[in-house]
Chains A and B, each alone.
Chain A
Amino acid sequence: MFKITRALAGAAFSATLLAVSAASADVTDRTIVIATEGSFPPSNMTRPNGELYGFEIDLVNEIAERQGLKVEMISQAWDGMIQGLIDGKYDAIVDGVSITEARKEVVDFTHNYTTGGSTFVVMNASGIDLPMDGEVAQLDDPESIGPAVDAVVEVLAGKTVGVQQATIQSAFLEKYLEDRDVTVRTYPNGPDVYQDLSVGRIDAGIASVTNVPAFLEKNADTASATGPIFIGGVMGAGSGLAVQKGDAELQAALNAGLESMVADGTLAELSKKWFGLVVTPQQY
């Protein structure tokens, strides 16, 4: 088996090379295929006729218009999404993908189009109320972060917290809540965290401040965000579009589009339209 895996790894390497050479055609001449999940409100959703809509679809269309790109959006289950990008099945993905070090090893990211920062969400009926509501807890500041985490853990003791696998939030829980009296349940798919939170299978969820508002809007009377907003450190730099490793041209085109949208405030407007507040960067 060692031999087989070595051969496969070699094949993977050559496949990557091939994909890179295929992607080097001029970025405005080809159709850029971008994958999204299509079931992660309000970032990306699907109408019954199959049409995709949501914050990220508006975002991509706006970038495409500004940069003169021909873009086709397709829907793809999250499970195989990054692998599909590595394999060159499409040119980019947009699905609230957090920019993490592990992912940077296999794909390249654009600028972040939402700011990092995560918060806990609970159902009001649970009676859980975390301290430091809405205050910013900077993970890069070791002086203040210790007490902040301690205060949170104290309330969450004996509870179950849900989080999506391999995200900045799961890295956060692993780093700060490991060996504390909090049960962490990890989910392959992000929307399932909200689903299980709303029916009471988990006591709290932790998620990006970008997708929490949509859940709170839908469950205005029954759910709330609580506790501090964690930024910096493992929370990294928010979400970006991911492109194939080495596809610098597409990366540059997307970045230029994002820059101009930040500069003239369009990105902030889109954010207000879909999230109800500005969760996008004010400047790069």
Chain B
Amino acid sequence: MTSELYLLGFGPEGWGPVLARAGLMTLAVSLSAFLLGTVLGTLTVWGRVSGNPVTRRIAETYVVVLRGIPDLLVIFLFYFGGRQVVSLVGTALGFEGPFDISGFVAGMLAIGLISGAGQSEVLRGAYQAVPKGTLEAGRVVGMSRWQLFRRVTAPQAMVTAIPGMGNQWQSVIKESALVSVTGLVETMRQVSIAAGTTQEHFLFYTAAAVIYLIITTLSDQVFRMLERRSMAGYAGGSH
């Protein structure tokens, strides 16, 4: 196998450049999906704690359904049915077709939707850990609900949420390996093409493993740093 290592290089026969690009694509789609998931997760927590029975029902159903269905099926459903849903929503909103979603958008939406359910669980735990006294204090000094959220709830909840969010981010990276059906050339799709063309399956899937390990390890470091930073100002945190 060592003699085949040139296939991973950056020479004329090497798949190095496209693999690097695919790795960046994995990172890009994961990042956008994660951010979408954060927005959805926050909305879900809000839906659950706002006291409105309808939004609570919707939020709970969303979490239960997305956590109970295999990621692969969600992605398939999104890819095969996504356009139908988008057309439906688009037409209902009065836009003119045709509607099209790219592989990137389809992948991002599917993983974002899955991650939103997971992130909402982390965020809910973090929200519940915010001392109620601080909220009351904020209310007493006359903060609006938005101000309370932005200045009191969010900063405190974020600190508690960081380790859990780190895990969610790791899941997103791994889920992104499944979006190759959408036509997006990310790491997994690129190594499949390379493995199919060269018949060097072990070499290329190992290369994929290394790419994912690099991404997961580096982001683990980032989250640890964030965790340390955010602890500054708390008892035991360095400053």
Contact = CB atoms under 8 A, between A and B. Distances in A.
The answer to whether A and B come from one shared complex is yes
B129 interface: no
A80 interface: yes
Interface stretch (B31-39, B45-53, B78-86, B163-171): B78-86
B193 A46 contact: yes
A77 B88 contact: no
Interface of B: 7, 12-15, 17-18, 79-81, 83-85, 87-88, 91, 97-100, 180-183, 185, 189, 192-194, 196-197, 201
Contacts of A102: none
4 nearest A-B residue pairs (beta carbon):
A39-B196, A18-B97, A18-B98, A11-B88
A98 B185 CA distance: 25
A48 B88 contact: no
B35 to A, nearest CB: 25
A22 B98 CA distance: 7
Q: For the side of the interface on A, what is the size category?
A: 20 to 34
A70 interface: no
A86 B239 CA distance: 59
A14 B13 contact: no
A79 interface: yes
A238 interface: no
A166 interface: no
A8 B81 contact: yes
B41 to A, nearest CB: 24
A84 B183 contact: yes
Interface in A81-129: 83-84, 87-89
A67 interface: no
Which of B14, B182, B185, B193 has the largest count of A CB atoms less than 10 A from its CB? B193
Contacts of A12: 84, 87
B178 to A, nearest CB: 11
A191 to B, nearest CB: 5
B17 A49 contact: yes
A156 interface: no
B168 to A, nearest CB: 26
Contact of B97 (A10, A14, A83, A89): A14
Given A11-B84, A15-B83, A89 B193 contact: no
B86 to A, nearest CB: 9
Nearest to A40: B196
B197 A39 contact: yes
A75 B100 contact: no
Interface string A21-43: 11000000000000100111100
Nearest to A87: B83
A19 interface: yes
Given A41-B197, A88-B98, A50 B18 contact: yes
Nearest to A81: B183
Contacts of A263: none
Contact of B181 (A50, A77, A88): A77
